[in-house]
Chains A and B, each alone.
Chain A
Amino acid sequence: MAIDRKTVEHVAKLARLQLSGEELDRYGKQLGDILAYIAKLEKLDVSALEPLAHAVDTSNVFREDVPGPSLPRDAALQNAPEKTGDFFIVPKIIE
């Protein structure tokens, strides 16, 4: 049960992955195999259950509102593939 090329292409676009036609077909087939295996979850009646997103319940974790030092700007920029002064460089977005 391969997932068709159009679906994989759509998903790849959402995930910002540029894949070749050969890759789309290969991942489509593998995705199909994995989903066929995962389909076993459909056998279970889960209608009465609440989803469990985190095993250990924690919510609204706040810290004290005390200002502290942030990462220095040059450290934050040290791994940028392209930068100028205090900025990351990206291709022009607005025409």
Chain B
Amino acid sequence: MTDAVSIRQDIVSKKTSATAIAERFLSRIEAVDPKVRAFLSVNKPAALAAAKKVDEKIARGERVGLLAGLPVAVKDNICTIDAPTTCGSKILETYRPPYDATVVRRLREEDAVIVGKTNLDEFAMGSSTENSAFFTTRNPWNLQCVPGGSSGGSAAAVAAGMAPLSLGSDTGGSIRQPAALTGTVGFKPTYGRVSRYGLVAYGSSLDQIGPFGRSVRDVALLAQAISGHDALDSTSVNHAAPEFSTMLERDAAGLRLGVPKEYFGAGLDPEVRASVEAAIAALVAKGATRVEVSLPMTEYGIAAYYIVAPCEASSNLARYDGVHYGHRSKEYEDVITLMAKSREQGFGPEVTRRIILGTFALSSGYYDAYYNRALKVRRRIKQDFDRAFEQCDVIVGPTSPTPAFPVGAKASDPLAMYLCDVYTVATNLAGLPGVSLPCGLTGSGLPIGLQIQGRVLDDLAVLRAARVFERELALSLPWPSLT
């Protein structure tokens, strides 16, 4: 199993074929996924048909796309016309989108091979995939542990070698946290960098699609393929995306690493702290500069996020009414009970909890006390980052306060689960790009993730910094044990 960039080269130079690669990854899925359970659906015929088309193009000597023949797994909250899109929810169990998301259209245009749809916390609400209505995905490094979430299936698929690349979505850390917990690279681009047309909406001012891979180079390649303006998403930014994948290399010298003291306080696992500190020291030894910065609002991030995101969710999820698509209750008395029963039966507990929380915070008499106050704190959070970025190029620290935790450990305590995102939510509140990459393993063999955040629209700086860390740390992680 090799990286995406090399696989593409081998396909284009006819050392192998897209069909052979698709078959190899599909058989890996068959062999391994019964243990990991990363996929909600695998579309073998469609994958093989897409691979065959790439091979025919190459045989005819035609130009092929950036992702020629590369298997990609797609989170199941991203619409695909030829496969179910369930969002990990009973309410969308039978839903078949009548259109492709823009990112899916781009994958097809760039000749990728979509192998299947991956598991997630229901409607991307959670940090472990335990909130999926169907099953929990397991961490390939330790099957008793969660892979993180909400994009846990996409992270686990890449970590276990079932796809070289995958797409996730990140509203408060849902790409970066599972990347950290599975030893993969996960990138959340600047808000608006990648079109969200066809991404099932959760927190619209926060949601962003991004890639997973096993190297920064691979992630940069997929990021490049999906970035760019889209008239179908009114929040899509109208700036051409740089060719990330060809501009990655830089020296450590001259790179100013902002290290916020608030990211190293109480609650941080000592092994995670030591590993992240060692990674920063390694880069400083190669010429990077360490700058002490402060993000005083860090401790308020989760509180602000758990107002903003549920408020937006309560509005976005109002569309599931048992009328236009999705689950409809068998019994009802009138249109109101039809909707109320369909929703109660279709939504799981975490989704219900966030709808109640959001509806409460937006309801008459509470709006100013909760929602408006949270938006003002959000302004402070953004100001914190603006001030920090006056002194540094990127901000580095741990992605998650702990490595992967056992299935069930936090499932009955919503607040404990929310605190998994303590270092990642502010990135979304401020719209910044952020990436997580592996920086070591714990004594018990679980991956540790390092997070890098950058200025709005400076996605390239974040990816370049990640590449310097990757190169200088030169970790060669073993393949996960799958036990």
Contact = CB atoms under 8 A, between A and B. Distances in A.
Contacts of A17: 340, 343-344, 347, 352, 355-356
Interface size class of A (residues with CB under 8 A): 35 or more
A54 B414 contact: no
Interface in B358-395: 359-360, 363, 370, 372-380, 382
Contact of B235 (A54, A63, A80): A54
Interface in A71-89: 71, 75-76, 78-82, 88
Contact of B363 (A11, A31, A40): A11
Interface string A1-36: 001000110111111111100010001001101100
B378 A51 contact: yes
B304 A41 contact: yes
Q: A interface, by DSSP: helix, strand, loop or mixed?
A: loop
Contacts of B303: 37-38, 40-41
Contacts of B373: 41-42, 46
Contact of B415 (A34, A52, A61): A34
Identify the interface centre among A19, A46, A78, A88: most chain B CB within 10 Å of its CB.
A46
Contact of A44 (B300, B322, B332): B300
A56 B238 CA distance: 11
B336 A16 contact: yes
A75 B221 CA distance: 33
A76 B235 contact: no
B76 to A, nearest CB: 16
Contacts of A14: 359, 363
A18 B340 contact: yes
A79 B360 CA distance: 31
A63 B341 CA distance: 39
A65 interface: no
A81 B328 CA distance: 6
Given A17-B344, A41-B304, A90 B335 contact: yes
A66 B463 CA distance: 38
B231 A63 contact: yes
Given A15-B355, A15-B359, A55 B341 contact: no
Nearest to A24: B356
Nearest to A18: B340
Given A11-B356, A44-B300, A55-B205, A82 B328 contact: yes
Interface of B: 94-96, 98-99, 190-192, 205, 231, 234-235, 237, 299-300, 302-304, 306-307, 314, 318, 321-328, 332-341, 343-344, 347, 352-353, 355-357, 359-360, 363, 370, 372-380, 382, 414-415, 418, 428-432, 456
22 contacts: A7-B360, A15-B356, A16-B336, A17-B340, A18-B343, A34-B357, A37-B306, A38-B306, A49-B380, A50-B379, A51-B375, A52-B379, A55-B205, A55-B430, A55-B456, A61-B234, A71-B99, A79-B326, A81-B328, A88-B324, A90-B335, A91-B338
